[in-house]
Amino acid sequence: MFSSRPGKSNAEVILTAGHIIPDGDDEVLVKSRKNDSFLVLTVPPAFRRTRSRPRCRRNLLPSFQDDVGVLLIGSNDLGCFSRYTKNLNVHYFDPAPDHELFFAQMTDPCSVSRRRAIKNRLRISPIIVYKVGAATDLTMGRFERIQDEPPHGWYKPKDDQWDLEKEEKDENEWIGVVHWMDVPFSASGDSGSLVFAREDGIYIPLGIHLGGREARRQSYFSSLETFCYEAETEGLQLHFHYSMTSGGDLANARSEPSPSTTTTSGDDLANARSEPSSPTTTTSINDLANSESESSSPTTTMSSDDVANAKSEPS
């Protein structure tokens, strides 16, 4: 993703699960899938971690917001990432927004609240979602519900943290529950990958994968809005890069996208250190895989921007 910054150059950002960023590190070495090179990404001060928590939240009671990770891409490394996505609309599930959306609003998860529209859609049927992870690559699952708390036992306060202030969170900060289909939707090492839907040729980014529970055959992701709100602590106003489709409006586009995203996986990090009812049109995983062979993979690219994959599942 990217963000404009008054008085500074625009920030190009990768989003990831915070737990893949090691304590104390201000830089992370990652492997670029685009050209098989190793790159150094900067961890902004607010998201540097101590005791497995970001600095910007150390005086607050632990919660799933702790798992927001933000990495900055250096200007010399921008060519190593695919950053523009055609046919992207984060507000696709809102059938009648209060006002007509501009292109820039279609790429900003926070421009209009998405929670009610997504929940209304889930009352009709699950949403088929996808992710491209470092461990399990391209998988699909059924996004079946939104919940306001993480799975039991995750982000539990330590003994000396129970007296910390409990933060009031926005209704758009939520956890998405994905039920597995024939194969697991995720495995350890997939944290940080983008969870997205694809209907009528439109890509709909939803959130960032945090972890899963094999016994329940469920995976969990945090809404993109959660990441956007937390990024504001660094003065970042995140949104996706967008590419206007000729002759048409992004929401009505039907051509195959050439997705641009930036995703870094936990496996990439480890390697670097060691050297879519009423669903309208539901894309099969084979169709999606075929479309990816013609374009870059739709994992995660947001402005201020991008999704990194993870190393370990939160316990």
**C-alpha triplet 56, 8, 242: angle, nearest 5°:** 90
Task: Identify the three-state secondary structure at position 65.
Answer: helix
Tell me which amino acid residue 77 is: D
Tens digit of each residue's pLDDT (9 = 90 or more) over 178-207: 999 999 999 999 999 999 999 999 999 999
Residue partners of 290: CB distance under 8 A and separation at least 6:
none
**Can you give the residue ranges of every domain in the chain?**
2-153+170-275+277-308
Phi, psi of 269 (to 5 degrees): -65, -45
16 has which bridge partners? 69, 308
- The CA dihedral of 28, 34, 36, 40, to the nearest 10 degrees, is -20
pLDDT for residue 41: 94
Residue partners of 136: CB distance under 8 A and separation at least 6:
183, 184, 185, 186, 187, 189, 190
How far is the C-alpha of 188 from the C-alpha of 9, rounded, in Å? 36
**What is the CB-side half-sphere exposure of residue 62 using CA atoms within 13 A?**
20
pLDDT for residue 262: 43
Number of other residues whose CB lies within 10 A of the CB of residue 289: 15
Tell me which amino acid residue 180 is: W
How far is the C-alpha of 284 from the C-alpha of 41, rounded, in Å? 34
Nearest residue to 189 via CA among 1, 11, 20, 6: 20
- C-alpha dist (Å) from residue 139 to 15, 89, 134, 181: 20, 21, 11, 9
Contact present, 219 and 141 (Cβ < 8 Å): yes
Residue partners of 55: CB distance under 8 A and separation at least 6:
45, 46, 47, 48, 49
The structure tokens 């685009």 sit at 34
pTM: 0.80
pLDDT for residue 258: 37
Positions in the chain short of pLDDT 70: 6, 96-99, 242-315
Nearest residue to 133 via CA among 211, 66, 213: 211
pLDDT for residue 90: 94
pLDDT for residue 99: 57
